[in-house]
Amino acid sequence: MGMTQHAEPAVTTPPASGPGKVTDGRTSERPLALRLLARPEVGVFLGAVAVWVFFLIAAPPVREGSSMANILYQSSTIGIMALPVALLMIGGEFDLSSGVAVITSALTASMFAFQLTLNVWAGIFVALLVSLAIGFLNGWLVVKTGLPSFLITLGTFLILQGVNLAVTKLVTGNVATDDISNMDGFDQAKKVFASSFEVGGVQIKITIIYWLVFAALATWVLLRTKYGNWIFAVGGNKDSARAVGVPVNFTKISLFMLVGFAAWFVGMHNLFSFNTVQSGEGVGQELIYISAAVIGGCLLTGGAGSAIGPVFGAFMFGMVQQGIVYAGWNPDWFKAFLGVMLLGAVMINLWVSRTATRR
């Protein structure tokens, strides 16, 4: 047992082909199964499969194609936000304002277009600017003050929550915005953000496609680009990264703005699928995004994680949320179930990584 074994890296790439290399002979290959198990993405994948099988048995309606499309749709609305939240977490920061930021974006687009009777695209554009500005503000405050992002974004969370309600009441005299479905450009925007198409008699929402495309893009960026390298570096060791010339502030601020972008995207989806926005919504969603990222194997303290893990994490959540309904149980159980899953996943991940990477 005198052999040295090493932990799995935070990032993987295809193995380099080095024929006839001299090795120092002190490391031995661990069995493939163990190496795979040590990867958090594999753990959460197995977890997602387990939850899926559980509901296949417990709730017969889940077996239908349309239910699956519905579950995937539910997962995609969580998943699109969980992706940038995961990247931000790998970059070592948190964003508690992401849930209400979605609503802020939708409210901005809706009220701006409606009150000024403009084309909805003008509202969409203004909402994008507002969302990016919120992200920028979060990031800028975090890098300039050096305070924990937990505190900074808790502040913006409370501000946005209050502003959402107060401004909506001030402008519309109501807690919801006016229906914008008759306005110019609505149908076009609905096509982009909230349409669906049919595959084999099953209605597939377009957000599922966006979700998977964004996930693929995020994975590529994370593992194959300079920027991805910087994300791991600023989360893993900010000071070291700065010392070797990584633009730490740019990386962190842009990650916060990426969360802003996703909040805008999901906000637009909500607006164009429901025509109106409830100003009090979104509270608590940020914790679901963060949980999906953590279940997906992103290290809470930054520096490790993937974009694929949170996809499975979001799928688990969507599965449970819809599965409970299909099983005919009280939907109030959803949050309790989530908590159990979160604790379970975190502990299994910990146990697996301890056993599989034991040195």
Name residues contacting other proteins, limited to 234-273 (CB under 8 A). Answer: 236-237, 239-246
145 token code pair? 């003050």
Burial profile 174-196: b = 16 or more Cβ within 10 angstroms, e = fewer = eebbbebeebebbeebbeebbee
Name residues contacting other proteins, limited to 301-340 (CB under 8 A). Answer: 303-304
Name residues contacting other proteins, limited to 274-303 (CB under 8 A). Answer: 299, 303
**CA 35, 36, 39, 44 torsion: positive or negative?**
negative
Cβ atoms within 10 Å of 119's Cβ, excluding its own: 16
| Start-to-end CA span in the chain (Å) | 10
9 binds other proteins (CB under 8 A): yes
Shortest Å distance, C-beta 67 to other proteins: 38
Do residues 139 and 259 touch, judged by C-beta distance below 8 A?
no
Q: For residues 233 and 266, which CB has a smaller minimum distance to other proteins in the complex?
A: 233
30 binds other proteins (CB under 8 A): no
| Cα(339)–Cα(63) distance, integer angstroms | 25
The alpha helices in the chain, defined as continuous H runs, are: 32-37, 40-58, 65-90, 98-115, 120-145, 149-172, 186-194, 206-224, 226-236, 238-243, 248-274, 285-295, 308-326, 333-356
Shortest Å distance, C-beta 121 to other proteins: 25
6 binds other proteins (CB under 8 A): yes
Stretch that binds other proteins, among 6-14, 265-273, 315-323, 337-345 (CB under 8 A): 6-14
Stretch that binds other proteins, among 19-27, 102-110, 129-137, 306-314 (CB under 8 A): 19-27
Tell which one of 3, 16, 32, 336 touches other proteins (CB under 8 A). 16
32 binds other proteins (CB under 8 A): no
23 binds other proteins (CB under 8 A): yes
Stretch that binds other proteins, among 20-28, 119-127, 169-177, 266-274 (CB under 8 A): 20-28
Q: For residues 267 and 297, which CB has a smaller minimum distance to other proteins in the complex?
A: 297
Residue 92: CA count within 13 A, CB half-sphere: 22
Write the interaction track for other proteins spanning residues 209-238; mark x where CB under 8 A is met and - where it is not. Answer: -----------x---xxx-xx--xx--xx-
| Cα(310)–Cα(80) distance, integer angstroms | 10
Which region, left, alpha or beta, applies to residue 7 given φ > 0 means left and ψ of -120 to 50 means alpha?
A: beta
List residues near other proteins by CB under 8 A: 6-16, 18, 21-27, 220, 224-226, 228-229, 232-233, 236-237, 239-246, 299, 303-304, 359
